[in-house]
């Protein structure tokens, strides 16, 4: 395994994937606890909040993976992995908060956005470097 | 960064990820504009169309990423990136159209399917080449 | 194309992506067959089950891709690809079953979990090896 092996990015990806599995399991538990029979997705507010928190994570997850890997491959894998850990922690607080009340989802939503913004920007800088290098032979 | 660096595929991936973020933000704006309180996802038709347009993109997005990268890695990164740009533009027209009326979502849905079909087919051809080469030592 | 080319993982990814497209198309057919006009996602139980079966696959799919590739890159691509095929078959039976009745979704849900668990565990072992090797120069 060479020095350019993306083992840090892969580790953060797998941790976040396991977290997604945990959120799905939690929505399932809430479904059973509130006797909401599938395929229905409506029921008591507690269930709907837990369900919707998971859905929000489902919407965000591919975006997260793309920003994690583009930043990690074209800027710095350590920076990207650190951002990824912030994302995983923020999502945990987000889902915990949303399960309690709609308002409590917000404090941990902004760090999610900050991670997306930072990883995207750094990834974009790295990729512009790469494009200038590969297609225009310009080395900054 | 070597000549085989997938910088074009990464750039198209990041652009599409930012577009997904934009669609999510638009659904959020529509939610606020029509006073649809989370976790509810039902409300005035304008909100439901904007929300559902985003959901359709969420359903398509991982499929898009897989076809983009398999075509890009095993057939041609330039072809895949070009297909990816068509996808991003088609999704933009799709969401804009769906937000206006249910019928207006259709014209830009077919290009989405055409991109999936083309990238999958080219990727499949490239991967068959790869499998014949790697496991059967057949060089076409 | 070198011996380390992940052509098996890419092939399984593309097959699973095409399957996701098929599930989406099936939900669309069910929508038309039961005259459920978009953007509505509620209607007769048959439609709601087919729709929800697809949604469950949408929730699982990025998690599957991450476990497939981490196991494939850091443990064994043949093992990961075999697990991926089990996943694809299990999802097919899951969606077929769920479309018939809510209870019939369960038998094929457990193999899905078993694939996630196995691929994650093997990927984790492989990545721990990789981290010990790369950052601590420990070769087990």
Cα–Cα dist B121/B127, whole Å: 10
Residue B27 pLDDT = 97
Nearest to C130 among A1, A39, A54 (CB): A1
Which residues of A fall below an 8 Å CB-CB distance to C? 1, 3, 5, 7-8, 10-11, 13-14, 16-18, 20-21, 24, 37-41, 54, 58, 61-62, 65
> For helices A7-33 and C109-136, what crossing angle results, to 10°?
150
Residue A139 pLDDT = 83
Cα–Cα dist A49/A41, whole Å: 11
Nearest to C37 among B62, B102, B133 (CB): B102
Size of chain B, expressed as the number of residues it contains: 140
- Binary contact (C18, B70; C-beta < 8 A): no
pLDDT digits (tens, 9 = 90+) for C93-125: 999 999 999 999 999 999 999 999 999 999 999
Cα–Cα dist B50/A70, whole Å: 28
Can you tell me whether residue A120 is helix, strand or coil? helix
Residue B2 pLDDT = 56
For residue B16, list chain A residues with Cβ-Cβ distance below 8 A: 66
Residue C5 pLDDT = 81
Distance of residue A14 Cα from the nearest chain C Cα, in angstroms? 6
Can you tell me whether residue A43 is helix, strand or coil? coil
For residue B103, list chain C residues with Cβ-Cβ distance below 8 A: none
pLDDT at A3 over 80: no
CA angle (A69 as vertex; B85, C88 as ends), nearest 5 = 80
Cα–Cα dist A116/B17, whole Å: 10
Nearest to A66 among B14, B40, B58 (CB): B14
pLDDT digits (tens, 9 = 90+) for A71-91: 999 999 999 999 999 999 999
């Amino acid at each position: 395994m060479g020095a350019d092996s993306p083992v840090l990015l892969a580790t953060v990806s797998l941790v976040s994937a396991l977290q997604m599995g945990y959120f799905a399991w939690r929505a399932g538990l809430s479904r059973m606890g509130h006797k909401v029979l599938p395929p229905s997705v409506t029921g008591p507010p507690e269930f709907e909040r837990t369900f919707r928190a998971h859905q929000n994570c489902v919407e965000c997850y591919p975006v997260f993976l793309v920003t994690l890997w583009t930043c990690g491959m074209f800027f710095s894998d350590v920076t990207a992995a650190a951002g990824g850990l912030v994302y995983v922690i923020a999502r945990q607080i987000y889902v915990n908060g949303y399960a309690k009340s709609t308002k409590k989802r917000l404090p941990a939503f902004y760090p999610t956005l900050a991670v997306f913004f930072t990883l995207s920007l750094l990834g974009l800088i790295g990729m512009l470097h790469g494009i200038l290098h590969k297609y225009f032979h310009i080395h900054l």
